[in-house]
């Protein structure tokens, strides 16, 4: 089964139809891009998958199981991690402390209380390196990293703590060309490690660089849903 499957999902706020009949899938090792202008329903879609809002029509399945998520914690426990644009990092804390922040032991997660600081440093450095970022000084405050590097740390953290699905909210929106490239390569590395990725973006170029599936929203409805093959021109 796909890791995430939405079938005919709808969501209203009062009488605003924020989403109407949206269907999409995210498989393991796949990046599904969700594209659309402001007001298209991208945030609403994220919030449903991340457990911040409940959908009021249609079906959401996570790992084949129908569910109506009622909290971000519940989503996380099912392996769905969301990285928001305004990353929840503490700028003055070292990179490695941010990496382990909020990772209180729960089922399936290592006993980090017993890890010493050197091990946490090594783990942080190792996870970043594993996906191609050589950050020698993980003691520097995370606020000194570039926006792109901070996104990568947040993604690495989700991967390390066992996420199966990574939901990324406009990860390149605030970044320049070079930093966007760094982040997109990192997103592709997460996909190559087998995660399912939902990449929300309003940048079609960024979507095309890494996407396997493309969902286009307009005013809450889905006006396109294509695999990469379908939009790749014949040679
Ligand atoms: P996007 O993220 O693509 O900009 P949103 O999901 O934020 O789109 O919004 C989709 C529609 O739902 C818009 O018309 C927006 O104004 C409306 N909307 C979003 N959140 C709320 C809310 N909490 N209450 C009322 N309307 C909302
Ligand atoms: P984002 O930048 O993540 O797309 P927005 O700036 O669109 O978020 O919205 C910020 C918050 O306000 C969100 O929680 C969204 O659901 C809510 N919101 C958006 N549009 C409306 C609206 N028309 N009425 C009430 N709340 C809204």
pLDDT at 114 over 60: no
- pLDDT reported for residue 38: 92
**Helix, strand or coil for residue 27?**
coil
Ligand nearest to the CA of 19: 1
pLDDT at 119 over 60: yes
Rounded to whole angstroms, how far apart are CA atoms 99 and 90?
10
**146-162: burial string, b at 16+ Cβ within 10 Å, e else:** ebbbbbbbbbbbbbbbe
Record the tokens describing residue 160, joined without a space. 């390390």
Q: Residue of the nearest CA to atom 24 in ligand 1?
A: 13
β-pairing, 221-227 with 213-218? antiparallel
Q: Residue of the nearest CA to atom 11 in ligand 1?
A: 18
pLDDT at 41 over 90: yes
pLDDT band at 200 (very low <50, low <70, confident <90, very high): very high
- pLDDT reported for residue 104: 56
Distance 32 CA to ligand 1 centre (A): 21
pLDDT band at 233 (very low <50, low <70, confident <90, very high): low
- pLDDT reported for residue 118: 86
- Which of 23-27, 44-48, 129-133 is the least confident region? 129-133
pLDDT band at 105 (very low <50, low <70, confident <90, very high): low
Ligand nearest to the CA of 17: 1
Tell me: the pLDDT tens digits for 125-155? 999 998 888 888 999 999 999 888 999 999 9
- pLDDT reported for residue 103: 66
Note the pTM of the prediction, 2 decimals: 0.86
pLDDT at 108 over 70: no
Supply the DSSP symbol for 152.
H
Residue ranges lining ligand 1, Cβ < 6 Å: 13, 16, 18, 36, 38-44
pLDDT band at 197 (very low <50, low <70, confident <90, very high): very high
Rounded to whole angstroms, how far apart are CA atoms 182 and 188?
10
The residue among 175 and 116 whose pLDDT is bigger is 175
- pLDDT reported for residue 130: 86
What ligand 1 atom has the least distance to the C-alpha of 202?
A: 3
Tell me: the pLDDT tens digits for 49-103? 999 999 999 999 999 999 999 899 999 999 999 998 877 778 899 999 999 887 6
ipTM: 0.73
């Amino acid at each position: 089964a796909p890791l995430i499957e939405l079938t005919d999902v709808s969501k209203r706020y009062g009488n605003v139809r924020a989403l109407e009949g949206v269907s999409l899938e995210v498989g393991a090792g796949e990046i599904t891009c969700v594209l659309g202008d402001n007001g298209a329903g991208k945030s609403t879609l994220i919030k449903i998958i991340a457990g911040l809002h409940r959908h009021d029509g249609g079906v959401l399945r996570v790992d084949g199981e129908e569910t109506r998520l009622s909290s971000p914690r519940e989503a996380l426990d099912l392996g769905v991690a969301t990285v928001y644009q305004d990353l929840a990092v503490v700028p003055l804390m070292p990179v490695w402390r941010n990496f382990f922040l909020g990772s209180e032991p729960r089922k399936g997660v290592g006993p980090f209380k017993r890890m010493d600081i050197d091990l946490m440093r090594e783990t942080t450095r190792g996870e970043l390196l594993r996906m191609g970022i050589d950050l020698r000084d993980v003691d520097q405050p995370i606020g000194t990293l570039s926006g792109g590097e901070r996104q990568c740390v947040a993604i690495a953290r989700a991967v390390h703590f066992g996420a199966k699905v990574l939901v990324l909210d406009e990860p390149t929106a605030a970044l320049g060309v070079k930093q966007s490239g760094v982040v997109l390569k990192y997103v592709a590395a997460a996909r190559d490690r087998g995660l399912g990725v939902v990449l929300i973006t309003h940048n079609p170029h960024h979507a095309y660089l890494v996407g396997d599936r493309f969902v286009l929203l307009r005013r809450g409805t889905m006006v396109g849903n294509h695999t990469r093959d379908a939009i790749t021109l014949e040679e």
